A = this chain, B = another copy of it.
């Protein structure tokens, strides 16, 4: 799981530290889209506390290495997920509980390229987030753990 990161560090002559491996283990081993704060907290409960700055610095390394991907769902902070084999996918974000669901739609790649072209742009990438209510939140059994920003936006009259 974290071997590829260890390799990356070695190949780039970067010290392989316990902190880096700990952060990598949490991020790459998670099925979630974690924020830096969540990573830090998870390490803390595992009795492997790592300084905030180091968490951020390691997240950057993980992104550079291509092993993790950075996401911005407009919540006011960034999230990180392991960069599995999946080339590109989109996200569904529950505005009530903050749950993130992934999906893939090949049409989007082509669509966005064509749209960009018709405006004279050369497409580099795109980002689609669909905001809605997940099943449990529709039934009123949601967890209500949504991060402030999403909450804010969802509640805003």
Could you tell me which A residues sit within 8 Å of B by CB distance? 63-64, 72, 74, 90, 92, 94-95, 101, 103, 105, 107, 111-112, 115-116, 118-135, 138, 154, 156-157
Contacts and interface: CB of A to CB of B under 8 A. Distances in A.
Contacts of A112: 128, 130
Contacts of A131: 123-127
Contacts of A133: 121-122, 124
A78 to B, nearest CB: 9
Contact of A132 (B64, B92, B124): B124
Contact of A72 (B63, B74, B123): B74
Nearest to A114: B105
A124 B154 CA distance: 9
Contacts of A124: 95, 131-133, 154
Given A74-B72, A130-B115, A132-B116, A92 B121 contact: yes
Contacts of A134: 120-121
Contacts of A129: 126-127
Nearest to A104: B115
19 contacts: A63-B156, A64-B156, A74-B127, A90-B115, A92-B115, A92-B119, A94-B121, A101-B119, A101-B121, A105-B111, A112-B128, A121-B130, A124-B131, A125-B130, A125-B132, A126-B128, A126-B131, A127-B128, A127-B129
